[in-house]
């Protein structure tokens, strides 16, 4: 006979154990915060403290709400204000953090002892650890969004930051407050000493594996890249750019800041990097287009450029591409004027003038937009809200279905951020200056990213030819990538192509002498053949002919004994095949 008292006790204790497991499992699955100018992911996170309204003293800026969250890598803040500001300049907003939640260490202020002070408008901070150390946003991994005027901001900091070898956040709790100016002004929370935050240390969703390949062979890959004052053509950076372009494998490339080289120069260089035939567009300013497909029309629009590209395949016919680089920095008037101008060109092209594009022609606008001022410029770019209607005509809906264009907002792989500009030698922190926007009524977005090689996991870099500092050494702007497919391509066709589940990458180095490495990816167990042929189609080497499991593979090809020329390597997987070209130079 079972003693029911023991059974019930056993049952209850196990129920409690199961409940604890469930609660713990909920804790370790992180609420994902994305620093992407969208507050919706903060909805389920409670306010850090209830803020008093209109308590801003002699100042004009009032903090209406603050939130904080963390995972095992980052600390996140949400800041809501009563009016719009630029976070990285023209304000007196300061963040104070007691990183060990100990009022007896650091600098005493408002009942806490802060070890970190950061002034957003001055773009500088001070750490009080072993002495006093001036810091920049890069020292603590501080990234904020948006870079334009706003009444809310998302802020990320690296939890594992070190200052002179000493860990900054060395406790499981912290206290903090924001102040809108050095003295008086608003304080949030109102009584900082009454609140503290305990780290959750939930596993970051961005520790998961990174997939940057095209989703289907229907996808057209766009690359926008400010190559920093013609640095693409500088021999010092040639290998950095070569590895970047060979990793991305773009189809259509919008380049900015090409002042002293021509479109044909750029196409020649891209052909050297990637092989195959490349076409170029050049309207006489710094915005070039290099494309695997012919360019039918081109036109300068003030300092920017429009191109009509003939694709003519199962997924596309023509694509209208605008490559833009409006004025920088505090020149809000000039930037707005140029965005008004090329959006008016788009309206005219849709209305039967200018390029006179057919209805539902895909529209893609790329470039370093320099959007670091008034948010009206973003509004014009997306919605067609033209400011100077006397010169540029009336507002319009830029997409074919009467809606706004869509903003890709490509993420930095492995990170919860979307910055496209990064320069540790500048006082300005990382920000999103570069954009890809598109007509979502006809285009379906696929893989997209803003490539920041410095923060890629080493295990990912080991599967590529990229080196950690490649994007940093090449330009202060990151290459931003977006794949598109036409929505008219049926789901069954896309699904069929997805089921092929293999990808072939550009060899590296290329050109080469006498050996090079060829990488490919297989997503399911398959019979693999990797064959090299010469210019007349004769096989010169079989590198692989076997059953292989899913995974990333790299094979060395030694061309000793072969003559200079263009060779083709073929990846055949269960009867399907794809190929790329490479150049042997003796």
Q: pLDDT digits over 347-403, tens only?
A: 999 999 999 999 999 999 999 999 999 999 999 999 999 999 999 999 999 999 999
Given a cut of 90, whether residue 491 has pLDDT beyond it is no
Please name every residue paired with 508 in a beta bridge, in sequence order, or none if there are none. Answer: 517
pLDDT at 200 over 90: yes
The confidence score (pLDDT) of residue 436 equals: 98
For 303-440, strand residue ranges (E) read 304-310, 318-324, 363-368, 406-407, 434-438
Tokens of 556: 């060395």
Check residue 313 and give its pLDDT: 76
**pLDDT tens digit sequence for 506-546:** 888 888 899 999 998 888 888 999 999 988 888 999 999 99
- Average pLDDT of the residues of the chain: 90
pLDDT (tens digit per residue) in 263-274: 999 999 999 999
DSSP strands (E only) in 276-339: 279-282, 288-291, 295-301, 304-310, 318-324
- Cα distances from 227 to residues 67, 126, 368, 472, 473, in angstroms, run 37, 33, 10, 11, 11
* pLDDT for residue 280: 98
Query: Beta-carbon neighbour count of residue 160 at 10 Å?
Result: 12
C-alpha 521, offset from chain centre: 23
H and E: helices and strands count for the chain: 9, 34
Q: Is pLDDT at 20 greater than 70 in this prediction?
A: no
116: which strand partners?
97, 127
Reading the block at residue 290, the tokens are 């290099």
CATH 3.40.50.1000 describes domain 220-497? no
pLDDT at 8 > cutoff 50: no
Residue 231 and residue 96: Cα distance in Å, rounded? 40
For 459, the enclosing helix (H) or strand (E) is helix 458-461
Q: What is the mean pLDDT of residues 284-298?
A: 97
Indicate if 502-584 has the same CATH topology as 220-497.
Answer: no
Contact 557, 516 (CB under 8 A): yes
Q: How confident is the model at residue 205 (pLDDT cuts 50, 70, 90)?
A: confident
- Show the CA angle centred on residue 377, arms to residues 398 and 92, nearest 5°: 155
* Percentage helix, strand, coil for the chain under 3-state DSSP, each rounded to 5: 20, 35, 45
CB of 101 closer than 8 Å to CB of 94: no
Q: Which residues pair with 180 in a beta bridge?
A: none
Would you identify the CATH topology of the domain 40-207? Immunoglobulin-like (2.60.40)
d(CA 182, CA 168): 23
Share of the chain above pLDDT 70, in %: 90
Q: Hunting for tokens 């306010």 — which residue is that? A: 47
3-state secondary structure of 107: strand
Is the backbone of residue 352 left (phi > 0), alpha (psi -120 to 50) or beta? left
Strand pairing report for 363-368 and 318-324: parallel
CATH topology of domain 502-584: Immunoglobulin-like (2.60.40)
Dump strand ranges (E) for 344-442.
363-368, 406-407, 434-438
**Which residues have CB under 8 Å from 284's CB, separation 6+?**
300
Q: What's the average model confidence in pLDDT over 170-191?
A: 91
Cα–Cα nearest to 451, from 466, 433, 429, 463: 466
Q: Where are the domains of the chain?
A: 1-30, 40-207, 220-497, 502-584
């Amino acid at each position: 006979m079972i003693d029911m008292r023991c059974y019930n006790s056993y049952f209850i204790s196990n129920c409690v154990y199961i409940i604890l497991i469930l609660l713990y499992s909920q804790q370790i699955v992180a609420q994902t915060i994305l620093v992407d100018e969208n507050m919706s992911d903060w909805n389920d996170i409670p306010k850090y403290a209830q803020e008093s309204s209109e308590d801003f003293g002699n100042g004009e800026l009032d903090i209406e709400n603050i939130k904080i969250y963390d995972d095992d890598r980052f600390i996140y803040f949400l800041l809501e204000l009563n009016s719009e500001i630029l976070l990285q300049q023209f304000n007196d907003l300061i963040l104070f953090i007691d990183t060990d939640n100990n009022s007896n260490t650091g600098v005493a202020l408002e009942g806490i002892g802060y070890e970190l002070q950061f002034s957003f408008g001055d773009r500088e901070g001070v750490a009080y650890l072993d002495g006093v150390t001036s810091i920049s946003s890069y020292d603590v991994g501080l990234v904020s969004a948006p870079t334009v005027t706003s009444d809310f901001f998302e802020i990320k900091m690296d939890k594992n930051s070190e200052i002179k070898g000493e860990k900054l956040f060395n406790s499981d709790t912290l206290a903090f407050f924001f102040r809108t100016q050095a003295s008086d002004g608003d304080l949030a929370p109102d009584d900082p000493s009454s609140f503290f935050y305990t780290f959750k240390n939930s596993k970051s969703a961005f520790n998961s594996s990174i997939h940057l390949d095209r989703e289907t062979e229907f996808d057209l890959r766009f690359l926008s890249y400010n190559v920093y004052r013609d640095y693409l053509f500088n021999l010092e950076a040639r290998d950095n750019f070569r590895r970047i372009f060979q990793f991305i494998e773009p189809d259509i490339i919008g380049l900015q800041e090409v002042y002293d080289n021509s479109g044909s120069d750029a196409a020649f260089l891209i052909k050297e990097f990637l092989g195959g035939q490349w076409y170029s567009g050049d309207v006489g300013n710094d915005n070039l287009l290099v494309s695997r497909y012919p360019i039918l029309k081109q036109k300068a629009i003030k300092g920017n450029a429009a191109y009509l590209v003939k694709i003519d395949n199962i997924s596309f016919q023509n694509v209208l591409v605008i490559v833009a680089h409006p004025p920088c920095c505090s020149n809000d008037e000039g930037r707005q004027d140029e965005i008004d101008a090329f959006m008016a060109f788009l309206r005219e092209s849709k209305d039967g003038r200018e390029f006179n594009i057919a209805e539902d022609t895909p529209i893609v606008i790329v470039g370093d937009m320099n959007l670091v001022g008034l948010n009206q410029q973003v509004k014009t770019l997306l919605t067609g809200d033209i400011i100077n209607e006397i010169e540029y005509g009336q507002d319009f809906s830029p997409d074919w279905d009467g809606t706004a264009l869509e903003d890709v907002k490509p993420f930095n792989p492995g990170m919860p951020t979307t910055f496209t500009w990064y320069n540790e030698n500048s006082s300005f922190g990382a920000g999103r200056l570069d954009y890809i926007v598109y007509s979502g009524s006809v285009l379906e977005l696929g893989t997209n990213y803003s490539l920041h090689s410095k923060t890629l996991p080493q295990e990912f870099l080991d599967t590529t030819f990229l080196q950690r500092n490649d994007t940093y050494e090449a330009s202060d702007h990151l290459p931003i990538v977006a794949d598109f497919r036409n929505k008219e391509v049926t789901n069954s066709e896309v699904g069929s192509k997805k089921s092929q589940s293999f990808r072939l990458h550009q060899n590296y180095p290329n050109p080469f002498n006498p050996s090079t490495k060829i990488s490919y990816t297989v997503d399911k167990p398959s019979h693999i053949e990797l064959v090299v042929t010469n210019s007349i189609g004769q096989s010169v080497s079989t590198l692989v002919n076997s059953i292989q499991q899913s995974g990333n593979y790299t094979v060395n090809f030694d061309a000793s004994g072969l003559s200079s020329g263009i060779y083709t390597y073929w990846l055949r997987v269960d009867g399907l095949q794809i190929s790329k070209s490479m150049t042997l130079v003796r």
